[in-house]
Structure 1
Amino acid sequence: MTELFNAAISLPNIIPTALLGLVLLYWITVVLGALDFDFLDFDMDTEIEGELEVNADAGGEGDVSISWLNSILVFFNIGKVPFMLFLSTLALPLWVISVMTNHYLGIESFLGGLLVFVPVFFVSLFIAKFLTFPFVKLFQHMEKEDGESNSAVGKICVVSTLITDKKIGQAQVTTSGSPILLNVVTGSGHQLKSGDTALVIEFLKERNLYLVEPYSG
């Protein structure tokens, strides 16, 4: 264990060790509640679109490079999963491979470690891409559910059963296709019966139902 610790903090391995340390510190602070899970996360589409707009205003010379960068980020699943999750799956194999490679090659200098770091970093990118595959579909499914949940907010619905602030009932939102059936509850002091019209105010994620209020438009 002492040998491993000494190898981890040696000059050839100081960069991957520092990166792994930052990732571990991040997860500790998340577990303790000091940081949110999506800290340092970003919406890649929004960021790229913003850059493209700025470049278009400035003459558009950087559009091609930004598009090229976007393609690379998408290829490695960056933006499809939270950034810190991707960085975590990158940091661990990067550290393991760097320590092992520097040990077996007998590298003891910072420069030698840096020369090893560059190719190992690219290898680790592909490992991270593979490791994040299962999470891509998971987060896509979660985003789809959030989109479906928010799509009913602001719509008019027709109450199907008695609803109060304590009694959960059902209501239907009319669409161009089949009606959407929602589990709903009213705000304090309100009561709705079958056939009443209501407005969908909010999706209560923790209760997996919608808050509605009487509507007479």
Structure 2
Amino acid sequence: MQESFLIFITKISLYPTFVFTGLVMFVTLYWVVSLLGMTDMDTVEFGESGGDADVSNLSSTGFFTGLMLKFGLYGVPLIIILTLISLIGWVLSYLYTSFLHQYFDSGVLYYVFGTGALIFVLVVSMWLTGVIISPIRKNIAKIPKRNAISNVGKTAIVRTLSVTDKHGEAELNDGGAGLILKIRPDMNENSLKQGDKVVLVEYLNEANVYLVAPVKDK
């Protein structure tokens, strides 16, 4: 049992698998931090919000943005995209390490074939991730958009550990499952913490965030 575990650790530490091992560790840590309310998740959007992006002309976009558009990696939280790419890439690279990489255990060929496998696995992982999130993105696009401005004046509860001008989330009871809203403090109010009640003062459309102020106890 111990020997099998050591073999497993060795394989996930080999090139190129260790690249995806590191990514899996990163996204796992991010999910833990997110569940603790220490950060919020952003959705990757290009073009019209929630709709399909125009991939007919990628020359006007940056390389990274164009690559994500090409593989359909948009319309859902970025951490979900990274999680899927990491997990798929880890499995594929682990299989490569287990069955093929043993024939190139040293020298130049070790890194040449390892780098080739890394690129191939990354491309396949991005493609499969795009296939997986495609129906999710389309279903999200079909959901009728709520009038965000109509939430202004309502009371929500802070769910992140703190609220700064960089991050913050609050939960709004809408009579259903509840809404998770991105919030920022109004008038440089930096004392907000998890569990505080806040009033939604203003909605900033371009940033898709609400300015909030603490609810004063009577």
Tell me which residue corresponds to 2:87: 92
Tell me which residue corresponds to 2:173: 206
RMSD: 3.5
Structure 1 length-normalised TM: 0.53
- Identity, in percent, stands at 20
The amino acid that maps onto 1:21 is M
Larger radius of gyration: 1
The CA deviation at 1:8 is: 0.7
Structure 1 spans left out of the alignment, 5+ residues = 47-62, 155-184, 188-203, 212-217
Tell me which residue corresponds to 1:78: 73
Q: What is the alpha-carbon distance in structure 2 between the residues aligned to residue 68 and residue 115 of structure 1? A: 20
The amino acid that maps onto 1:114 is T
8 A Cα contact 2:17 2:94, kept in partner:
yes
Tell me which residue corresponds to 1:13: 17
The amino acid that maps onto 2:59 is V
The CA deviation at 1:74 is: 2.7
> Is residue 23 of structure 2 the alignment partner of residue 28 of structure 1?
no
Tell me which residue corresponds to 2:46: 44
The amino acid that maps onto 1:133 is S
8 A Cα contact 1:43 1:79, kept in partner:
yes
The CA deviation at 1:37 is: 2.7
8 A Cα contact 2:20 2:86, kept in partner:
yes
Q: Which runs of 4+ in 1 moved over 6 A?
A: none
Tell me which residue corresponds to 2:145: 145
8 A Cα contact 1:81 1:136, kept in partner:
yes
8 A Cα contact 1:74 1:80, kept in partner:
no
Task: Name the one with the larger helix percent.
Answer: 1
Query: 1:4–1:118: structure 2 CA closer, same or farther, 3 Å change rule?
Result: same
The amino acid that maps onto 1:115 is G
Residue-pair matches, total = 143
Q: What is the alpha-carbon distance in structure 2 between the residues aligned to residue 68 and residue 7 of structure 1? A: 32
The amino acid that maps onto 1:17 is T
Q: Spell out the pairing of 1:89-128 with structure 2 (5 A cutoff).
A: 89-105=84-100, 106=102, 107-108=104-105, 111=111, 112-128=113-129
Query: 1:118–1:71: structure 2 CA closer, same or farther, 3 Å change rule?
Result: closer
8 A Cα contact 1:8 1:14, kept in partner:
yes
Structure 2 length-normalised TM: 0.53
8 A Cα contact 1:12 1:108, kept in partner:
no
Which has the higher relative contact order, 1 or 2, with Cα contacts under 8 A spaced 6 or more apart? 2
Structure 2 spans left out of the alignment, 5+ residues = 49-57, 156-170, 177-198, 200-218
Q: What is the alpha-carbon distance in structure 1 between the residues aligned to residue 77 and residue 154 of structure 2? A: 35
